[in-house]
Amino acid sequence: MEENRDKNTEQGKKGKEYRPSRIVQWKVRVSELVEFLSYDIWRIDSKSLSKNTNLFYNVIKTVILTGRNTHELNLGSLASSLTYSTILSIVPLLAVLFAVARGFGFENILQSEIFNYLGMNIADPSAADDGQVTFGTQVVNAINNSLEYAKGSVFTGVGVILLLYTVYALFANIEGTFNKIWQIKKGRAIERQITDYFALVIILPVMMLLNSGLSIMISSSSVYFDKFGYILEPLIPQFMKILPYIVNILVLTSLYKFMPNTKVHFLNAFIAGTVAGLAFQVFQMMYLSGFLWITKYNAIYGTFAAIPLMLLWMQLAWYIVLIGVELSFAAQNVRKFSFEKETRTISRQYRDFFTLITATEIVKRFAEKKPPLTADELSEVCKVPVGLANRIIDDLQDMHILTPTPSFSDEHITAYQPAIDINLISVNYLMKKIDQFGSSDFNVDINGKYLSEWDVLMASRASFYEKNPDVLLKDI
């Protein structure tokens, strides 16, 4: 009995000696978690999970994609570029908005919104200090001068054209940035840009009017809500507090849905608009607090300090907006990012394989007289990661194998169909096009020093094509 006790005691001591410490255990768990979030979560079959678990994993993957793509695309630099464009275009843009507001008769409301944006209460100018008044007055004077210049230009219409072109260039830059995040190379056609941007110019002052009008109407609740005032009166102050959040969310949701040159689902745009709208409003309040702090406690440099502070706020504002774009993109494409990391170092063999899959799907649909698919739909049908699918489609267009066409569901969305007779598109034809795609204008002596290497390579290629039966893609 005593011997057994001694053995058990020794084994217990050995077990305690070799048990890893809590720090080591936490390190193991953290490394396992990182491994799971980096690789395993992207390989889980969603069909094998419950609905709630699948939703939870998709939320996690959306957050990971948003953070990863924010870093890889360097959204800070894109925000800086948009900040620079906005600073150059801010006065012409506001001038156009003022002209639209003046035409509808609510110029004063728009001016009041701008003053409030700058931290000035136009109803009580005495509450603002000299720095705020000077800065706000300079902004309004610059706007009025731009409108006067547009009216009195030496050449009729030149001033108006310059104003409109500056605004157009700003919106084109915004669309280009959004398309880059959505991995879309081609933007809207010029006629669509003009009509869509003009609609935005009309909508912006209307949203400002809505914000101000609702505030005035609700604050005058005794006039509008006499019968129900006793019920609504406690709710009015709370609604007034959340009204700016609602307007921001609506504006950003519309921007995320309609600005990228692709079909964005409303739910994804709304999720991104809600997150970005709340963050935007919080940073706006921080900006106004900072503005008031500087102008109140720095009487000498108050007006000058407002400029870098506004630049900083504009940089942060665009950064928030672009993160929202990235969030909407990640939410819509989260199911198409399996093996996304591997596609960046994809082998030539698998790159050709995915190209063959994509081209075959397009050719077969055309042969069966089915509607052409968009890049987003091709990515889903062919199970090809969305980034790789976009690159393959761009290459096939450059090879003149595919051509863009309006989608059946939405003529503004681009779909793809064969660019040549499908009876000519065979596997060998596609592989030869891939081999010959790209530049071949290099200063290499293939007729002299490297003649034997070149001949061997060409013989290998010819042998590959001759040994394999030539199959049409439509017959695969």
pLDDT, residue 312, reads 80
For the ranges 229-233, 247-251, 335-339, 342-346, the maximum mean pLDDT occurs at 247-251
- The average pLDDT across 395-417 equals 85
pLDDT tens by residue, 84-110: 888 888 777 777 777 766 766 666 666
pLDDT in tens, 211-266: 555 555 555 544 445 555 555 556 666 666 777 788 888 888 988 988 888 888 89
Class of CATH domain 340-475: mainly alpha
Query: In angstroms, how far is CA 388 from the centroid of its own chain?
Result: 18
Residue 58 has pLDDT above 80, yes or no: yes
CA atoms within 13 A on the CB side of 113: 23
HEC string for 104-128 = HCCHHHHHHHHHHHCCCCCCCHHHC
Please give the average per-residue pLDDT across 11-35, as a whole number: 70
pLDDT tens for residues 199-212?
777 776 666 666 55
Other C-beta atoms closer than 10 Å to the C-beta of 476 total 13
The per-residue pLDDT of the chain, averaged, comes to 75
* 418 HSE (CA, 13 A, CB side): 22
Q: Which residue has the higher pLDDT, 449 or 212?
A: 449
For residue 249, give both structure tokens.
Answer: 């969310």
15: number of Cβ within 10 Å: 9
**Residue range 131-139: mean pLDDT, rounded:** 58
* Cα–Cα nearest to 306, from 125, 126, 117, 147: 117
The mean per-residue pLDDT over the stretch 20-47 comes to: 76
Cβ-based neighbour number of residue 226 at 10 Å: 9
Quote the Cα angle for 206-209-210, to 5°: 85
C-alpha–C-alpha distance, residues 297 and 113, integer Å: 25
Q: Are 385 and 338 in contact (CB under 8 A)?
A: yes
Residue 436 has pLDDT above 60, yes or no: yes
CA angle 290, 177, 60 (to 5 degrees): 80
* Percent helix, percent strand, percent coil in the chain, to nearest 5: 75, 5, 20
The answer to whether residue 155 scores a pLDDT higher than 50 is no
* Paired strand residues for 373: 416
Buried b (16+ CB within 10 A) or exposed e, 248-285: bbbbbbbbbbbbbbbebeeebbbbbbbbbbebbbeebe
SS3 state of residue 404: strand
How far is the C-alpha of 45 from the C-alpha of 49, rounded, in Å? 7
- pLDDT at position 129, please? 47
- For the record, the structure tokens of 165 come out as 């072109």
Would you kindly state where each structural domain of the chain is located, as residue ranges? 1-43, 75-335, 340-475
Cα 40 vs. chain centroid, distance in angstroms? 26
Residue 319: how many other CB atoms lie within 10 Å: 20
Closest CA to 54 of 46, 45, 62: 46
> Which residues have CB under 8 Å from 274's CB, separation 6+?
249, 253
Amino acid at site 151: K
In the structure encoding, which two tokens stand for residue 401, read together? 């194998």
Which residues share a beta bridge with 426?
472
Contact assessment for residue 448 and residue 228, using Cβ atoms and an 8 Å cutoff: no
405 forms bridges with which residues in the sheet? 415
The two structure tokens encoding residue 65? 């994609």
